[in-house]
């Protein structure tokens, strides 16, 4: 299988990631409390070790950072899909 660069996408990178989502309309204080608890949990040695056994790096971020990342990735992949004429079978 060719790399992304070999397939004509030099400079592109694809990395798996995980996020926690809440239903629309969840009160901001609830989101903030859950985010703080998750960030704290990811600092725990046993949690970090578990991520590392999966080859993952626990980073953590804010809800605003995840929203911005999703917007960026959506635009990025939408453009590629349109340019390549990719269709769902």
Say what the pLDDT of residue 46 is: 96
**Mean of pLDDT values over 10-32:** 90
DSSP 25: T
Domain assignment present for 36: yes
| pLDDT tens per residue, range 36-77 | 999 999 999 999 999 999 988 888 999 999 999 999 999 988
Domain assignment present for 33: yes
Domain assignment present for 35: yes
The count of domains in the chain is 1
Domain assignment present for 48: yes
Domain assignment present for 19: no
Which helix (H) or strand (E) segment holds residue 45: the answer is helix 45-53
Q: Which domain holds residue 45?
A: 28-79
Q: Tokens standing for 58?
A: 């626990």
* pTM for this prediction: 0.74
Domain assignment present for 1: no
Distance CA 71, CA 74 (A): 5
Distance CA 53, CA 45 (A): 12
Distance CA 67, CA 64 (A): 5
Say what the pLDDT of residue 41 is: 95
Domain assignment present for 23: no
Helix (H, G, I), strand (E, B) or coil at 60: coil
């Amino acid at each position: 299988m060719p790399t992304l660069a070999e397939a004509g996408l030099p400079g592109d990178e694809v990395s798996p990631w995980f996020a926690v989502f809440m239903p629309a309309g969840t009160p901001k204080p609830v989101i903030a409390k859950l985010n703080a608890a998750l960030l704290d949990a990811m600092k725990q040695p046993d949690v970090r070790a578990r991520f590392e056994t999966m080859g993952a790096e626990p980073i953590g971020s804010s809800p605003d950072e995840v929203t911005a990342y999703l917007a960026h990735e959506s635009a990025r992949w939408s453009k590629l899909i349109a340019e390549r004429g990719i269709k769902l079978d």
